[in-house]
Amino acid sequence: MKNEMKELKSVAQKFFAAYDAHDVDGMLALCADDALGRYAPYGRDSVVAIRGGLDTIWRAFPQAIPGFRVEVIETILAEGNTVVTQAVMSGPVPMDVPGIAKKGQVVHIPHAYILRFDTRGKISRLDAYWDNTAINSVKASEL
């Protein structure tokens, strides 16, 4: 069981390395075909398919925020088939955000991800939590 959990931690690390490299296809390769995700600040019932759902957001961030980065702070092995990752998303904001940042200033947004894996070691569920204030500053039309 310990080796299996270390393998899941490795998959999580590969997932976030692909995210930082803007390699959405690489991220999707680590997800089950029917994987679901939830970005909690978008609503309690915001569970959507990763393919055709969350992947569109993953592709949009580097377009809306040139210089978009993902830095993993910590990856924690949890119970069962679950890994928790603390990461910081960053990049220069495309517009002034009163009280937060001026246009072009790099903003750092802490995130917490809960990744659940299926029996094949693929991500079957991804839940993300963050402070939505800075992300709301990016207009939906830019994403």
Report the C-alpha gap between 25 and 4 in whole angstroms.
24
CATH of the domain spanning 2-134: 3.10.450.50
Structure tokens at 44: 């309690």
pTM of the full structure: 0.84
Instruction: Specify whether the CB–CB gap between 82 and 123 falls below 8 A.
Output: no
pLDDT at 97: 60
Instruction: Specify whether the CB–CB gap between 75 and 13 falls below 8 A.
Output: yes
End-to-end CA distance of the chain: give it in Å, rounded.
40
Q: What is the domain partition of the chain in residue ranges?
A: 2-134
In terms of pLDDT, which residue wins out, 77 or 42? 77
Report the C-alpha gap between 24 and 105 in whole angstroms.
25
Q: Give the H or E element holding residue 36.
A: strand 31-39
In three-state secondary structure terms, 10 is helix
Report the C-alpha gap between 94 and 127 in whole angstroms.
26
Alpha helices in the chain (DSSP H): 2-20, 24-29, 55-64, 132-135
**What share of the chain in percent tops pLDDT 90?**
57
47-96 pLDDT per residue, tens:
999 999 999 989 988 887 878 899 999 999 999 999 999 999 888 877 76
Please list, residue by residue across 53-86, b when 16 or more beta carbons sit within 10 angstroms of its beta carbon and e when fewer do. bbbebbebbbebbeebbbebeebeeeeebbbebe
